[in-house]
Structure 1
Amino acid sequence: MPTLADVAALAAVSKATASRALSREELVAPETAARVRAAAKQLGFVPNRAARQLARGRTGIVALVVPTLDNSFFTPIIGGAQARAGEADLQLTVAVHPLDSPDAPGAFTRLASQVDGFVVVAPRGPDDVVRAAGELKPTVLVDREIEGMTSAVADTATAFGFLVSRLVDDGHERIVYVGGPAGSWQDRQRTAAVTSAASGRAELTVLGPHPSTFAAGVAVAPSVRDSGATAVVPYATAIGLGLMFALAAEPAGRPVTVSSERMVVESLAMRGVPAIDVDGAELGREAADLLLARIAADPRHPLPAERRRLPVPVRWPDTAEPVDA
């Protein structure tokens, strides 16, 4: 197997020059870089990824931090981020940390020495704790916004508000929003959006907070029935599925429309059920793309904080195509 020394000898340069030409060609003359690349191609030399990254003062690894592995919402985000990192020849590692206590940055300090940056999903951690962790390495937040930090967010709040508005247009006079976990940033945005959409037009009942679980959906079913609502917008798919299960097990009564996500509606061939269509993989790709740009930036001229909000379409029962919220 050819080595870097073989490439250097064929190109008639030192081993150090060959290394710079293959890892940071801007540091050598263009003709020298071309000669080294030609020698590497002729010999079939493949530079070691880790060595290339170390030559740049980096590890070649980025971390995606999630609060738990129990929430399936995170799975496509991880997949999208991993795909984008792979395109940049970087390794993605997944770490679990809720970032919900003042000592949280301590764990991040240890991790920061092993990675080049973070993609962080921290829906409930205090702003100051999340911000302190983000100061250790280039960091991008997912599905949350904090002043001064770069973030990528699926704009579900707008979609939820649109959903409630359409439900009112369709004749629903009593609607329930089943809220998410206590302290969730997204839950605050969604609650505000559905409240505004229903204001002066329909009676809205907000139930919660609730964990994003099937069991929580089952448990909230009696309260939904007692509210007299004919439509429910749950914070998370798992809550909605638990609610559907519990309502279906009750004696036949007033029909209740429970919104869900597109995959569930299509898989179960549901009729008359509006669906939120969040592209988790694209959200992960966008977050990783933002992080890669920040890692590559000159540390003497850091990039300003940036916010990306991805539109979230709503699929309505009477339309084949998604409706922009």
Structure 2
Amino acid sequence: MREDAMARLADVARKAGVSVATASRALVRPEMVAERTRQRVRDAAIELGFRYHPSAQALATGRSRLLAMIVPDLTNPFYATIIAGAQRAAEEAGNDLLVVVSDESPERERALIDRLRDRVDGFVAIAPRGPASLFTLPDVPMVLVDRRTRGVPSVVIDTPGGLHEMGAHLAGLGHRRIAYLGGPRGSWADPRRLDGLRNGSGHEVIAFGPLPPTFEAGNRIADELVASGCTAAVAYNSALFMGLMYRLATLGVKVPEQLSVCCADDLAEFGLAVPEATTLHVPTEDAGASAVRTLLGVVDGRPPEPRHRSVPVELVIGATTAAPA
């Protein structure tokens, strides 16, 4: 740390009435300092025009206070809300969050990790389809979101548990032949969601897919679904759901009188146009925040307990499900 930076830090400490060490912690590791003390130090720093230089901070602590988050893309609202929660938790702990896009390419994921591993304190990765070997690198702090891999801490949204409850709801209405519009090929979560739905319903579940998680895919599969004789359908995500609903309206199929339709994520959270749909409320922001807090514990040498955290979901019964005709 430069000599003039140390002198200015001492000025901040004197004005705030704390030691230099406490002033440094308040600026570098704010979570370790009481709120009133932290605020006094910040107020003194602002009044004196003091700014703690990132390079000095890294030298003093061995930490860059920068975290990286790998996401498949930025167009999916499911990922966007996870990012929002992760950023909130990072900033609350005095860190910055760098978001990088993998385009669901294992080669790009590996290149991003290799390029950033010496510049960030650790990674949060949303990687539903990449090989597990990408995320088990020695000396690279890593936390996965919505996927479990041996040896890597994770935060998993319990969508399979929610689909188990959704299957029981449909069975209770009298549905005996249920369609599942599945997720993309190679998805870690997709077979687990299908199992949850099957186990919950206790009746026949016909899987359609794998399907791209897009509006177009939901639109294209609707004709085949209607011809299948299923009386209820569950979509892997909101984009598939919306595409399916659009095509059903075009075909003149009434929901829920002729076909009950559910979605495995929360449309209301994404601001879409079917607020009364039967869905799962998925606390994606909580999952992102939990992943960052878990990562900070790993970086600080505190193994997470439990190693794999589960975020519960809630079944919201709306107007798109009813007893079969």
Shift of 1:114: 1.4
Match of 1:293 among 274, 289, 297: 297
Q: Which residue does 1:323 correspond to in 2?
A: none
The residue type paired with residue 52 of structure 2 is: N
Q: Does 1:95 align with 2:100?
A: yes
Change (3 A) 1:267 1:242: closer
- Cα 1:249–1:293, aligned 2, differ >3 Å: closer, same or farther? same
Q: Is 1:160–1:190's contact at 8 Å kept on the other side of the alignment? A: yes
Partner SS, residue 144 of structure 1? coil
Structure 1 residue identity aligned to 2:298? R
Alignment gaps of 5+ in structure 2: 27-36, 320-325
> Alpha carbon RMSD of aligned pairs, Å?
3.1
CA shift for structure 1 position 255: 1.7
Q: CA separation of 1:150/1:305 partners in 2, compared to 1, >3 Å: closer, same or farther?
A: farther
Contact residue 161 and residue 193 of structure 1 kept, 8 A: yes
Measured in 1, the distance between the counterparts of 2:148 and 2:140 equals 17
Match for residue 321 of structure 1? Answer: none
In 1, distance between residues paired with 2:280 and 2:288?
18
Which region of structure 1 is more displaced relative to structure 2, 188-197 or 92-101? Answer: 92-101
Question: What is the match of residue 229 of structure 1?
Answer: 230
Aligned to 2:191: 188
TM-score of the superposed pair, with normalisation by structure 1: 0.80
Report the equivalent of 1:179: 182
**How far apart, in 2, do the equivalents of 1:267 and 1:316 lie?**
17
Deviation at 1:315, TM superposition (A): 0.8
Tell me by how many angstroms 1:106 deviates: 3.7
Q: TM-score with structure 2 length normalisation?
A: 0.80
Instruction: For residues 224-264 of structure 1, give each alpha carbon's deviation from its aligned partner in whole angstroms, at most 9, with x where no partner exists.
Output: 11111121111111001000000110034672121134434
Partner secondary structure for residue 77 of structure 2: coil
User: Is the aligned partner of 1:69 residue 2:74?
Assistant: yes
The alignment partner of 1:77 has SS state of: helix
Q: Which residue of 2 aligns with 1:59?
A: 64
Give, in whole Å, the separation in 2 of the partners of 1:62 and 1:9: 30
Which residue of the other structure, out of 220, 242, 257, is the alignment partner of 2:260? 257
Shift of 1:10: 9.1
| Corresponding residue for residue 322 of structure 2 | none
Q: Deviations over 1:264-313 (max 9, x none)?
A: 49863555x32110011111111111011111227xxx667711101101
Look up the match of 2:165. 162
Give yes or no for contact 2:267–2:274 (8 Å, CA) kept in 1: no
1:283 to 269, 283, 287: 287
Residues 7, 119 of structure 1: alpha-carbon distance in 2 compared, 3 angstrom cutoff: closer
Among the aligned pairs, what percent are the same residue? Answer: 33
The aligned counterpart of 2:309 is: 308
Whole-angstrom CA distance in 2 between matches of 1:243 and 1:106: 37
Q: Tell me the distance in 1 between the aligned counterparts of 2:13 and 2:130.
A: 54
Q: Which residue pairs with 1:198 in the alignment?
A: 201
Matched residue, 2:52: 48
